[in-house]
Structure 1
Amino acid sequence: MRVREDVNGKCETFKKAVWRKEYLYVKTVEYLTSVKTEHLMAGSVIYQGLEENPWISKDELRGVVEKAVNLIKNSHGIDFERSGKLIQIIPQFDIAFDCISNLQDVGVIKTNKEKPLTSEQIKHNINKLKGKLAAGTSKLCQELVVILNGLTISELTWKIPLASQVISDDSLLVAQLSKKQKKKFMKPVEEMVPPTIPQGVTEECVKFVTNFMPRSIPRLQEGLTHDGNWKECGNKLNEVALKILDTLKIVSAIRATLFDNPFGEHAFITTFERQSIASSDRRGDGRTGRWPDIMLVSKESDKLYELMYIECSRIFCNKQKEDDDNVKLWRETNDGMYWVQKSRKPEKGQFGIIGVQVAGQKLCLNILIRDKVEVHRYYKLRESMIPIRYTYEPSVLAEFIKTLLVLRNILIVNMSILRSTPLRRSSRILEDSSTLPMVTMTGILTPSFHVYYSKQLNQLPHSIKIDVWRRLTSRKHPLSIEQASSIHPEVEDLLNKAVGNYIKQKERQKMKPITSDCETSLRQENEELCISKQVLEKKIEELLELQEQYKSREVAMTRSLEESGEKVTQLSDSVAFFKSIIPDTKKAIASAEKSIDLLENKCQHLEDIISAKDRKIIALVDQILKHSDATIEPKTYSSNSERKLWAKRRSESEYDLEVQKKYTFRDLAGK
C-alpha cells in the first residue's frame, strides 16, 4: 500500500511538471508572436519564462524556448527582421540567463514566489518529524507518531504547515488526538492568554462607548456645481483633515500597544516593507527574502531578531488573499524561529515567534513555539474584530483591546527570555529551516558573502571565492562566520585585491597570432557557408513553387465553393417552394377530413336503421313461432326425421284413437 501511494505521488508530481512545462511553452509562443520586434531578444524571453516558473533549470528553459523559436521560424508570414531576431535568441541564451538570474539574486528583480517542496522533500520532513516525536517519551508524542504513520504523505502540499515539520493547532493531526492529549498539546498557549480582562480596562471601554456622541450630519446645500471652488469654509476643511490624519491604523494600534514598554531602544517596528533577515538566510546564496508588511525587530548582542510578523490586507479582503497571507505568515514565523535558534537556545515551550494577520475587519493573533522534542507548533491564540466603525457594543472594543494586551504581554515574556539566554558557543552545523526546499549548509569552506559584494563576486571564479573565504575564516586572526557574511572592511579589501590580481592575470594572457592553418580552416568554413547559402536559395525557390501550387489549389477550392453555393441556392429555392404549398395542402387535408366525418356519420345512421329493422323482423318471427301448433302436421317438413315422426304417428292413429284425437293429419283432415 505504501509503495502504491509513493508511486501515485510520483506520478502526480510528474504530471504536474509536464503540465507546467507545456503551459510555459504555450506562454512562450504567445509572447514570441505578440511582442514587438524591437523588444524581441533573449533577455526578455528568459525574463518572461522565469516569471512563470522562477525555479526552472537552465536546460529545461532552453529546451522550451528553442522549441517555441523553431515553431515560429517555420511558420509562414514572418518578416525578415523578426526572423533575424528569432535566430539570435538561442546563441545569446546562456549569457542572458545568467544575467537575469544574477539580477534576481541581488534583488534588482524581485520575485515573491516560493519554491514548492517536492514530494521527496516533504517525505524527508515527515520522516524527520517522526524521528523527533519518537525521541519523546510522553504519550502525546507516541500518539502523534501513530497518527503520522496513518497519514498519506502524497496528499500533503508545501502550503500545509505539517509538510514543513510544523504542527498547527487546526491541523487534522491535532484533530485526531484524544481529548486528554489534545489538552496537553494546547497547554503551552493556555498560559499565554490571561483568562480575564483587567477591570479597569473594561470600565474604560464602557466609558468610551457611553460618552461617544456621534455628531449630527449637516444638511447638504442644494444647487451645487463643479466650478473649481471649495464648497466648505477653510476651518471646516482643516477639521476634516485632522480627523483623517487621526484615523485608527494597525501600525498606530501596535505602537499604542507597545507604549512605555520595557524593551528599551533596541526594539523597533518597521513601518514599511522590509526584507526579512530570517527569510533571506533561509533562502541562502545571497537571495532576497520575503518582505513582511510590518515586523518587530530587536537588536541583541549586535544581532537582529525578528520577534513578530504582521501581514495586512484591505478592508474588503477575499478568501484567496486571506489564505495566501496565512501561509506566508506561518512560513515567516517558522523561519524566524530557526533564525533565533542559530545563535541562541531559548526555553522550549515558552519562547515563541508571533504572527499577526489583519484580514478585512479581523485581527488574528498566532504564535509558533518549539516544544521539548524540537517540534514546531503553530497556534491561533485569539481572533477579534477591528472596530473601524462606531459600535454600541463595548464588548467588541474590549475584545480588541484584550487581543492587543495579550500581544504586549507575550512580547514582554519573549523579550525577557531572549535577553536571558546566552549566545551559543558551539560551532556545530545547526538545523536548517524546514521550509527550505533544498538542504544547504553554510560552513567554513562554503563562502556566503554579503549581497553588497555582488559586483566583486561576479568578476571572480568560484575557486578564488573559496580561497578568499578560507583566508578570512582560517588565518591567524580570523573573522567569525557572521562577520565574514556581513559588510566588513577587511572583507571588502581582500575581495578588491583578489579582483585586481585576477584582472591583471587575465591581461597577461595574450592572444596567439593566427596561423596558416587557421586561415585554411576559415576559408573552408567560408566555402561551406557559400554552399549552405546555395542550398538555402534552392529551398527558397522550392518554397515559392509550393506557394504557387497552393495558390492554384486555392483557386480550385474557390470555384468548387462557388458551385456548391449555387447548389445550395437551388436547394433553398426548392425548400421555399415546398414551404409555400404547405398551407394549401393543409387546407385540402382539413376539407377531406370533414368529408370523411360526414360519410362516417351517414354510415352510422344507416347502420342504426338496419339494426332497427332487424330487431322488428326478429320480433315478428318470435310472434309467429308462438302461435304455431305442434299437433298439426305441417305442409312441409323441416327434416327427414320430422317426416318419419309424422309417418309413425299416422300409422299409429289407425289403431289408436287417442293418437287420432291428439294429432291432426292433413290427408285425414281433407277426408
Structure 2
Amino acid sequence: MPTDLYTKIYIFLLNAEEEDITAGSIIYQEIEDNPWISQNELKMKTNRERPLTSNKIEKNIKALKGKFRKDTSQLYQHLFSSVNAVSIFELTWKDPLANQKLVENMVPSSLPRIIWEKCDEFVVNFAESNISVLPQKLSHNGEWKESDKELADITSRTLSSLNDSWNNSAFSSEFAKSQNEGTYVTNVIVPAIQVTLKGLPLGRSSYVSRLASADRKGEGQTGRQPDIMFVMKHDGKKYELIYVESSRLSCTPQKKKDDEIKLWHETNDGMHWMHKLSGLDKGEFGIIGIQVAGRIIRLNVLIRDVGNVHRYYHLYKAEISVQ
C-alpha cells in the first residue's frame, strides 16, 4: 500500500467517529482520488437495467394470475380476467405488468374549483422580475447595506425555513447522525440560502445550481463541483458568485478539513474566471465561500487586491439551529 494512502486511511480511522467507520468508508478513502472506473462509465453501469427474458416474463404473469385465483372477490376475479386477456408476447421487461406490478392512473375526475381559481390568480398577478442594468456599485465600508426592516424580514424568512426541520423527526437526536449529506443540504441548507438571497434585485437572472460552468470545467474535465453554487447571468455570460460545501449533520474532523481546502480552491477558480469574463476593479469584488460542517456554518470571502494577490477572509461563524 502506498505511504500516502496508508497515512490517509490512518488519519481517517484516528479522527472518524466510531459509527462512521465501515468497510465502505475505508474503501472510499482509497478510490476518492483515483476512482477505479470513470464517472461516465459508472453512470452507464448504474443506469442500465437488466432486461427480463421471455421465460421470466411468462413465469411472472403465471405467478400473478395465481395470486388472483386465491381470492374469490369480484375485484380479484376482474383483475384475473384483465391479465388473462393480455398477450405475454406483447410484453417487454419495461412493462410494469411483466414485473408483476399493476399500474393504473388514479387521477380525480375533476379538481376543486378553488384550485383552478388560485392557479388563474397566480398567472394573472405574476410579475416577471429581471434586470438589464446591474444595481449600484457597493463598497466594503463595514456597514450593513440593508435597512433594519430588511434585515428583520430576512431573519424571519430564514427562521421560518428552519421550522420544517424542527418538526422533522429525521433531524431529531435519534436519527440525526444517520442522515446523509443530501438530506441535510436539500432540507436545511438550500432553503436557508434561497430565503436569504430572495430579496436581491436579480430576478430570473440568478439561480442556484450544482453544475460547474463549461468554461471552468475545461475540455474533457468535470471541474471542481461544489455542493451548491449561486449563479448569475448577465449579458449572455454566467457568473458563479457563491460556492457552498456542506457535510452531513454529523461531520468528522477530516471531512471538515477536506471541505475547507476544496472551498478555497473553488473560490480561487471562481475569481480567476470572473476576471477573465469581465473587467473588475481589484479589491472591490469578492467571491463568497460558505462551509457547513455539521451544525456550524462559516462565511468566507475571497478578494483580489490591487497587487493581484488573492486574499481569503473568514467573516463570520454561527451555529445552525437544526433541532
Q: Which has the higher helix share?
A: 1
Q: Which has the higher strand share?
A: 2
User: Which structure: larger Rg?
Assistant: 1
TM-score normalised per structure 1 = 0.24
- More relative contact order, 1 or 2 (CA 8 Å, 6+ apart): 2
TM-score normalised per structure 2 = 0.47
